[in-house]
Amino acid sequence: SGHLISTAEVENALLLDPNVSEAAVVSRQHPVKGECLYCFVTLKDSAPNDNNNVNGGLANVDVITPEMRSELCQVIRTKIGPFATPDYIQSAPMLPKTRSGKIMRRILRKIANEDYEFGDTSTLLDYSCLETLIKLSKSIIHA
């Protein structure tokens, strides 16, 4: 707490992991720290995942194992420092993007803060990712 952290810097650190193809980091309200980091990570198809269970109706490819979470946190700690360790890391099979390919961080911030009133989504390329991201976030936040 008390540190200014660039979300782009954390995203770049996450992308150093060979299992990560895309990453987006947003802030989430925190009762003690004020705000904390919430990471959305898209894994490469070849990413190892030994979790053979179905998680609340979600395919096992959508689950980040505790080992993988620990590995991603270690990458961030090594590259930036321990103060940048995220509180939440969520798998994001598909990130919400505009038709021009920009990640809609505004929507990710709302999902991370459990606010599902997204406002104008007319530029969103694929609405189907929202339901999956919401379901995954609920399993992460309320774990």
92-124 pLDDT tens trace: 999 999 999 999 999 999 999 999 999 999 999
pLDDT in the model for residue 50: 46
pLDDT in the model for residue 58: 44
Q: What is the pTM of this model?
A: 0.86
36-60 pLDDT tens trace: 999 999 998 744 444 443 344 444 5
pLDDT in the model for residue 51: 46
pLDDT in the model for residue 46: 42
List all residues 6 or more positions away from 13 whose beta carbon is below 8 Å from its beta carbon. Answer: 75, 76, 79, 80, 84
Scored b (16 or more CB within 10 A) or e, 115-129 reads eeeeeeeeebeeeeb
53-80 pLDDT tens trace: 334 444 455 678 999 999 999 999 999 9
CA dihedral 18, 23, 27, 29 (to 10 degrees): -80
Q: Show the domains of the chain with their CATH numbers.
A: 7-141 (3.30.300.30)
Type and span of the H or E element at 40:
strand 34-43
